Amino acid sequence: YFYTNFCSPCRLISSQRVAWSPSLFSPQISLEHEILLHPRYFGPNLLNTVKQKLFTEVEGTCTGKYGFVIAVTTIDNIGAGVIQPGRGFVLYPVKYKAIVFRPFKGEVVDAVVTQVNKVGLFTEIGPMSCFISRHSIPSEMEFDPNSNPPCYKTMDEDIVIQQDDEIRLKIVGTRVDKNDIFAIGSLMDDYLGECLIIWAGVIAWRRGV
Position 178 pLDDT exceeds 50: yes
Residue 42: CATH number of its domain = 3.30.1490.120
Q: Is residue 175 part of a domain?
A: yes
Encode pLDDT of 17-73 as tens digits. 444 454 556 668 999 999 999 999 999 999 999 999 999 999 999 988 889 999 999
Query: Residue 50 to residues 63, 103, 173, 183, 200: CA-CA distances in angstroms?
Result: 21, 30, 38, 34, 49
Q: Is the domain of 93 the same as that of 33?
A: yes
* DSSP category for residue 119: T
Q: What is the pTM of this model?
A: 0.71
Q: Is residue 20 part of a domain?
A: no
- Report CA 129 to chain centroid distance, whole Å: 8
* Cβ atoms of 4 and 14 closer than 8 Å: yes
pLDDT number for residue 161? 95
Encode pLDDT of 78-135 as tens digits. 999 999 998 889 999 999 999 998 888 999 999 999 999 999 999 999 889 999 999 9
